[in-house]
Chain A
Amino acid sequence: MCPVPSDAETPIFAFTVRRLALLPPILMGVSFLVFGALYILPGDAIESMLAETGGSAADVVRLRREFGLDRPFLEQYSAFLSRAVRGDFGRSLRLRIPVADALWEQMPATLELTLAALVVSVVLGLSLGIVAALKNGSWIDTLTMVVSLIGVSMPVFWMGLLLIFLFSLRLGWLPAAGTGGLASLILPAFTLGLSGAAIIARVTRSSLLEVMSRDYIRTARAKGLAEPVVVLRHALRNAVISVITIVGLQFGALLGGAVVVEIVFGRQGIGFLAAEAIRQQDFPMVQGTVLIASLAFVLVNLAVDLAYGFFDPRIRYQ
């Protein structure tokens, strides 16, 4: 008997392949939009470069010509594209180092930060949400919801400085700034993850409450199962679908928030790299950072969609 691929395998594989095949056109579209946006913005890389030390009008013209920034838009874009498809993202105009090198060097710190923040969000958010749902209507419920409201309203910037003031200056427990080691990751991860935790707490609470009122839960209780088992094994599994959606969307917000956290805590990362590159109109660097971010975003969303299938067997991939 010939082995036949099971029904579940092929659709997922095809689904994944189809999604990945969308990547090149997405990335191209993004790069074109970014290029166009930078081109339209007032000012350019040369003015930014000379802004600190000054230059004559003649210097500006000369440097523009030397960098090829006075060539027409489409010519510049197609030059960029033809190099990019060969994996050459060029050199940063401002820093003169290869863009790929800079990204490679800074990526790990941002990944570390976003993953740690995600862990904080999920663990803290789920815990608070579960507690609030189980103690629905009590003062614990109200308290957790108020705390989460504060968490989602506080500016990331301010939260970071507050934590530095408390844990670095006053208590001396953790470093105020810098990259490297677990100790220097804790405050930044919390700062970034807290607002996400607040959102996840609220969503967990409401979807858990909704699920807990369903018939099959009453059945499980009637069968004599202990409450923790009812909640964690049966109810949570369904409630978590909404949470996964939020986590997928959160990722974009985390990347954005990472910029501020990287600045406040003086950490390495592509967030700050991107912000500086945009401010300095450093075309190649902006392209590189935006494309990496887009790639990450698409892949995370794909992972989220695949995770649905794991948690909910009803979902089929067409």
Chain B
Amino acid sequence: MGQCSQGVFSRPLGTLLLLGLTLSLALRFAAAAPSGATAGGSISYAMNREPDMLDVNVGSSRYDRWVTAQIYDQLLAMDRSGQITGWLAESWEVSPDRRVYTFKLRRNVEFHDGTPFNAAAVKANFDRIVAPETKSTSAVGLMGVYDRTEVVDTHTVRVRFRQPHPGFLANLTDVTLGMQSPAAMQRFGPDYARNPVGTGPFMFREWQRRNRIVLVRNPKYNWPPAWAKHKGPPYLDEVIFRIIPEDGSRVAALESGQVDAIGRVPPQHAAVMRVDRRWNVVNSTLPGTGVILVVNARRPPTNDPAMRRALAHVMNVDEASRIAYFSQWFPHRGSVLSPPNPYFVNLGKMFPPSLQRAEQILEEAGWRRGADGIRAKGGVRAELVYIGFPSPETTRTMEWMGASLRQLGIELRIREMETGAIHRARQQGEHNLAHLTFIFLDPGFLRTLFHSENSGGGWNFYHERDAQIDQWLEQGQSEPDLAKRAQIYANVQTRMRELGYVIPVVYQHQISAHKATISDLIMYPVLGEYPYFYDAYVRR
């Protein structure tokens, strides 16, 4: 009998359906688990400083982010190439003048307390950040000149600014603008900082101050950022943060197996651990100024541009990286931005390290050696004061620089101070060279560091009133045309280095180390400073 079977396989549609089903299942599995990823287990991670609080609307400490990055999601995400993608916001529109941003939010997203994530939640967060009674320290700076947020419908929200805010999209990828549950903020009031509720892959369980912070898996999690490796809940059951401030003890805790991973590995330990098969060492370059010397253009002898140019030729960034940082923190080729920042410009060729050239410049400018070998000009001795935090690496760098300077006939006095005193001293311009390092993503922040309005009362330590730089910094913050913005910040970087207002040393790095049995424990893309546990798993 030649009767065709009427089964599924015989019909083209059926075959296609089955093929499609198999393919989609295969794809889901492929996306769900790399080979060997096992659910379960926990990772204990030792940090060097404890978070102040877990309320991102309010907090000021960078260390908060290590924990809050696991608890909160942001509206937007930034992948490794600097590309901004959707996260809790699926799509967005920006007005040409960069003052109105409209976001379409992802659906079916829940906070850990079961309340829904929606437009009202976004509005609640932004309004709370700018409210004076919140006393926000860090988040408020990312909100530009905020006007208001409108709830267009449950999943559409519109944010308006009084002035153009071109940096807003980049700022929204920062966990400092992560989304917190309005219901929880309402319920806990001032104690919300100890009871954080977000939408993130991990939920807060407990915090024993100075001992441990415990996070547990969010079983409902299904909205990871686009750059993540899988979908669905995280693999780990638990993440436990420990606090071990002393570098030596922290490294010992990892090597003795007491913890599974540590952050802030000092360069000398990193150099050794990299070749040890028991550990994986992850080294990220961070965005921001990097480690730089700010030169006080108001205090003799660095008020002389020739002196500043000579100093720029003395600094040898490759040597500094090798001698002081065991080559683990890379030589700084920029001026006030680092490679992960948008608009970074490589200026490495501007001042090739050369003591001869420096000598030439000084002689031509009239800095003659005195009887004691120290140069002087017009009655002013070539004596420099350096002010910085006490850190082994910067001390080594400055001692090495001091030796070179002495050859040239310049005296260097190194003054190291703690936080309160150092800030006052730098504000009042007691330095010729001051150590500066800040981590930030959007270059709009440069205004805080280099605009003359912030000299004396803020964080501007080069103290010169350079009208051109001031103008560029003001323009850059609110320039809606991104190509023009890139040009403005290229100009700023070039001029700051050209006129010798800054002498860069190395980029700032964050080095992390973990047991080789742990996989996919990465540092957060671009911001690079803290780990992200979503894709991490423990191999058995």
Contact = CB atoms under 8 A, between A and B. Distances in A.
B82 interface: no
B375 to A, nearest CB: 32
B394 to A, nearest CB: 16
B53 A96 contact: yes
Contact of A42 (B210, B257, B420): B420
B210 A169 contact: no
Contacts of B46: 177, 266
B420 A41 contact: yes
B170 to A, nearest CB: 15
Nearest to B456: A57
B249 A164 contact: yes
A102 interface: yes
Interface string A51-63: 1111111111101
Given A96-B190, A172-B256, A263-B246, A54 B449 contact: yes
A51 B457 CA distance: 13
Contacts of A42: 420-421, 423-425
A31 to B, nearest CB: 20
Interface in B419-448: 419-421, 423-425, 438, 440, 445, 447-448
B453 interface: yes
Interface residues of A, number: 57
Interface stretch (A5-13, A199-207, A236-244, A272-280): A272-280
B175 interface: no
Contacts of A50: 60, 137, 459
Contacts of B419: 43, 47-48, 51, 279-280
Nearest to B132: A66
A273 B48 CA distance: 15
Contact of A176 (B132, B249, B421, B423): B249
Contact of B243 (A51, A53, A266): A266
Interface in A48-81: 48-61, 63, 66-67
Contacts of B132: 66
B264 interface: no
A67 B193 CA distance: 18
Contacts of B255: 169
B28 interface: no
A49 B453 contact: no
A237 B253 CA distance: 44
A154 to B, nearest CB: 16
B58 A96 contact: yes
A63 B210 contact: no
Interface in A247-289: 262-269, 272-273, 279-281
Contacts of B141: 53-56, 59
A252 B82 CA distance: 54
A301 interface: no
Contact of B210 (A47, A49, A52, A106): A106
Given A67-B135, A180-B211, A48 B420 contact: yes
A106 B456 CA distance: 38
Contact of A177 (B191, B208, B253, B454): B253
Interface string B45-69: 0100000110100101110000000
A155 to B, nearest CB: 13
Nearest to B289: A54
Nearest to B51: A95
Contact of A63 (B137, B252, B459): B137
A67 B133 CA distance: 10
B244 A266 contact: yes
B377 interface: no
Contacts of A165: 252
Given A56-B454, A268-B209, A268-B210, A161 B137 contact: no
B322 interface: no
A266 B424 CA distance: 30
B420 A178 contact: no
Given A48-B419, A164-B249, A272-B210, A178 B258 contact: yes
A47 B242 contact: no
B423 A51 contact: yes
Interface in A97-114: 97, 102, 105-106, 109
A187 B494 CA distance: 54
A97 B62 CA distance: 18
Contacts of A54: 141, 438, 440, 445, 448-449, 459
Interface in B452-476: 453-454, 456-459
A234 interface: no
A176 B420 contact: no
Contact of B252 (A41, A96, A164, A272): A164
Among A47, A48, A264, residue most surrounded by chain B Cβ atoms (within 10 Å): A47
B16 to A, nearest CB: 56
A102 B243 CA distance: 16
A259 to B, nearest CB: 11
Contact of A53 (B62, B246, B457): B62
A47 B459 CA distance: 10
Contacts of B62: 52-53
A40 B149 CA distance: 43
Nearest to A65: B132
A206 to B, nearest CB: 36
Nearest to B245: A263
A267 to B, nearest CB: 7
Nearest to B417: A42
A279 B418 contact: yes
B138 interface: yes
B390 interface: no
A303 B248 CA distance: 38
Nearest to B424: A42
B250 interface: yes
A144 interface: no
A95 B52 contact: yes
Interface of A: 41-44, 47-61, 63, 66-67, 91, 94-97, 102, 105-106, 109, 160-161, 164-165, 168-169, 172, 175-180, 262-269, 272-273, 279-281
Given A54-B449, A176-B252, 13 more contacts: A42-B420, A42-B423, A43-B420, A50-B459, A59-B458, A91-B190, A96-B53, A168-B252, A177-B244, A264-B249, A266-B245, A266-B246, A272-B245
28 contacts: A50-B459, A53-B137, A54-B141, A54-B438, A54-B440, A55-B458, A55-B459, A56-B453, A57-B454, A58-B453, A60-B458, A95-B53, A96-B55, A96-B190, A105-B208, A164-B252, A168-B252, A169-B256, A172-B256, A176-B253, A177-B252, A179-B210, A180-B211, A264-B246, A266-B46, A266-B249, A272-B245, A279-B420
Closest 8 pairs between A and B when the two form their complex, measured CB to CB: A43-B420, A57-B457, A266-B244, A57-B458, A42-B424, A268-B210, A176-B252, A176-B253
